[in-house]
Amino acid sequence: MKSEVNTVNNNISSLAQAKPLASPAVQIDFLNSDDLIKFETKLESSALYPLVSSDIDIFQVNLGKMCNQVCKHCHVDAGPDRKEIMTKETMQLCLDALDSCNISTVDLTGGAPEMNPNFRWFIEELSQRGKHIIVRCNLTIILANNKYHDLPDFFAKHKVEVVSSLPHFSAKRTDSQRGKGVFEKSIEALQMLNAIGYGKADSELRLNLVYNPSGAFLPDDQKGLENEFKRRLKNNFDIDFNELFAITNLPISRFLEYLVDTEKYEDYMQELIDAYNPEAAKGVMCRNTISIGWDGFLYDCDFNQMLDLKVNTASQHIRDFNAEDLHSREIIVNQHCFGCTAGSGSSCGGTTT
Amino acid sequence: MDNSYYDPKDLKKFGNITEWQPKLGEKFFDYYGEVFKEGALTAREKSLIALAVSHAVHCPYCIDAYTSDSLKKGADEEQMMEAIHVAAAIKSGAVLVHGVQMMNKADDITM
Ligand code: SF4
Ligand code: SF4
């Protein structure tokens, strides 16, 4: 049954509603307040503790927490009321950092990264440097305002790989997670992207979709879901895309609030723990990613960023970026990490095994 | 013992049936696991069939399990409801088709 306790206001962030779990420190305390097995203990049992990073392949920049949507499961607690966005100066520090090393993939996320006023400038600079650029686009932003309508062309010009969330091919399931009317607009945006060649088999313009469960359960087999999404989106809306990334919801931020409000937290954590897979633990994305926050601080991943768990190195800010320093660093783990190691594993690029 | 025949927690204890008869229990669970693997039918199709049959056999454990499983496997609400309509159609059809037997019998015993 849908809980009546869950008084989520669909238009503003949890922070703006002064919800206790909007605080990273409260979340960490909560995640450690039970006697469930610790993530470190599980890593130890598969000889992976401490978890150590290798070469950085992905430079993931969070351009800010501002978003035109307020999805129920958002791990960023993003929304239109969030004002934290990356300045042009910090973007320049990111470019300087990239010039000092040979990381080839830059992954832009948010919030809705496109809402950052210097978003296009940043992409142009990255494009000039020949980087492989990924933009995590929520789709509805393309239709949110006239000034965004040409985003598909802009993306195509810079050969940006577009990664977009579409939790389901049913309007009901997508809207229940992402907000009323989101499905219809997402479909329209996908058709716009398809129209200029995105997601087409013979095109180099990549369009990948992100599936994440619209409830307290783990994603099923990624390939099976991809086949079904392809079939249904093609039949119903003539939409094509390249790959489907199945991503597990991590128990933090608004998804954690949902779990707590609906009294599903313990069962969900137990499900994650029971599904712990050492192979997935070996392949967690923090081992080859560095995540940069809107204010320039460095994190092992976007989830740690939201929990304010900074990297375990002397230099914790992009102004002091040093790829050598970050190599072989000990990754900061906590109970939320069970979300990355369950089943086939989960990362920003889908399963990891 | 609770004063109710069904407890949702019992679903998780299903595996315990092997305790009293390991050989048959294990054979059953091996078979069960094999049946639900991806085959000529996809795992999602099998889950939807199981959901429909669960309703036909009135098993609350199975309804719980295969509602979750169908959702996990990407089925949507419409598919799930259509699946149980199939079960309902067969059930009601099975009742009604016996109407022919009734008619035959009535013909037989009346002038
Ligand atoms: S999940 Fe993405 S689109 Fe939804 S509120 Fe969060 S940042 Fe915005
Ligand atoms: S949550 Fe972050 S730090 Fe933890 S395992 Fe996942 S990627 Fe690594």
Q: What is the pLDDT of residue A5?
A: 41
Q: What single DSSP character describes residue A312?
A: S
A137: tokens are 């686009």
B6 domain-assigned: no
Counts of helices then strands in chain A (DSSP H, E): 14, 8
From residue B101, how far is each of B88, B90, B91, B93, B107 by CA, in Å? 21, 17, 16, 13, 10
Establish if B73 belongs to a structural domain.
yes
What is the domain-level CATH number for residue B77? 1.20.1290.10
Q: Is residue A130 part of a domain?
A: yes
Concatenated DSSP letters of A66-135: B-S---TT-SS--BTT---B--HHHHHHHHHHHHTS---EEEEESS-GGGSTTHHHHHHHHHHTT-EEEE
A8 pLDDT above the threshold of 60: no
Give the closest residue to A324 by CA, choosing from A100, A91, A48: A100
Give A194-236 as a DSSP string: HHTTTT-TT-S--EEEEE--SSSS----HHHHHHHHHHHHHHH
Residue B1 lies in a domain: no
Range of the domain at B31: 15-110
pLDDT in tens, A44-80: 999 999 999 999 999 999 999 999 999 999 999 999 9
Contacts of A166 in chain B (CB under 8 A): none
Query: What pTM value is reported for the model?
Result: 0.91
Cβ distance B77 to A170 under 8 Å? yes
pLDDT of residue A296: 98
Predicted pLDDT at A245 = 98
Q: How far is CA A349 from the centre of its chain?
A: 9
Enumerate residues lining ligand 2, CB below 6 A: A 284-286, 300-301, 303-304, 331, 333, 336-337, 340
In a domain, A246, yes or no: yes
Q: How confident is the model at residue A320 (pLDDT cuts 50, 70, 90)?
A: very high
> Domain count of chain A?
1
Distance in angstroms (rounded) separating the CA atoms of residues A290 and A300: 5
Pocket test for ligand 2, best of A249, A340, A341 (most atoms within 8 A of CB): A340
pLDDT at position B32 over 80:
yes
Express each pLDDT in A150-168 by its tens digit.
999 999 999 999 999 999 9
Q: Which two tokens stand for residue A26?
A: 């409260």
Which of A219, A221, A229 is the closest to B43 by Cβ?
Answer: A221
- Let me know: does A336 contact A28? Beta carbons within 8 Å: no
Residue B8 lies in a domain: no
* Count of structural domains, chain B: 1
Look over chain A and give the mean of its residue pLDDT values, rounded to a whole number: 95
Structure confidence by residue, pLDDT tens digits, A242-255: 999 999 999 999 99
Q: Compute the distance between CA of residue B55 and CA of residue B85 in angstroms, rounded to an integer.
A: 10
Q: Flag whether B5 is in a domain.
A: no
**Percent of chain B at pLDDT exceeding 90:** 90
Residue from the list B38, B73, B76 with its beta carbon closest to the beta carbon of A173: B76
Mean pLDDT of B32-53: 96
Residue B4 lies in a domain: no
Q: What CATH number is attached to the domain comprising A210?
A: 3.20.20.70
Q: Residue A260 sits in which domain range?
A: 52-267+282-332
Residue B55, classed as helix, strand or coil, is helix
Chain B residues touching residue A217 (CB < 8 angstroms): 68, 71-72
